[in-house]
Structure 1
Amino acid sequence: MGLGERRAWITALVAVAGYTVYLLVVLGRADGGPLTAVRYAPVLLWTVGCAIAAAVLLEIAAAVIAPGAGHRTDMRDREIGRLGEHVGQSFLVVGAVGALALAMAEADRFWIAQTLYLAFVLSALLGSAARIVSYRRGLPW
């Protein structure tokens, strides 16, 4: 497994794990009450920070386990990376438009933040999925 594919797997796994922990903590704190009353910001910041740290640590661990395995990149790797970025950015744009619509509808800040966080997670997850599929099956063109 090359460097690009390994990073895509790590990004996908960390995004899903981080968002799952976030949802469990926020839903647990609601305790039957309204979600908009939950103090979500500290949880969001901690889960994002921990996800970044986990991704870095997993990259280091993968490099220690398989030193020198697939550290070269070529034109195919750059094209796959570009495809993953385009797929991921499209979901980020959709999330931003959704958050903008919620803001114009004067929705609670809680829902705007949830929309943006979900957009970031989907961007990372689907961008990684596009990379993984491209590494496994080849580029679509």
Structure 2
Amino acid sequence: MTPWHRIAQFAGLALVASACSMSAAVRKTPMASAVLRVPADLPNQRLFDCAESSIATLSETSSSWPKVTREDSAQGILESGDFPEANRSGFRLRLERPPGASQAKLALKGAGAYFVDLGVDQAMQDLKTALDRCVATQPL
């Protein structure tokens, strides 16, 4: 093998190695956040029921909405789709609302393969609309 072939091989391997490490550094899960106004006297369990039914409704039109995986009414936290995990596909919600607060914080991750944005901004709008509608209606 000539020296030029060795240099070309080495350069090719270096390029491949640097490209792999670059892609790992650039990965970022697409996210959207919002604040949802809720009545201060609304129990967290009612808000969580609304979140669960909203997710179920949205999952009828998109399989990217996984079920609730964590619910803690006392702490005011609800999560869907293993929210803390970094490398998951689909929409994942984290809803935080201290008991008695007049607002809830929503964080939504929405990544597909290779961290492609699944349309997280539109999904957040759809979720907020569904939540607003549910919170505004009286339970049966």
TM-score w.r.t. structure 2 length? 0.30
In terms of fraction of residues, the more strand-rich structure is 2
| Structure of higher RCO (CA pairs closer than 8 Å, 6+ residues apart) | 1
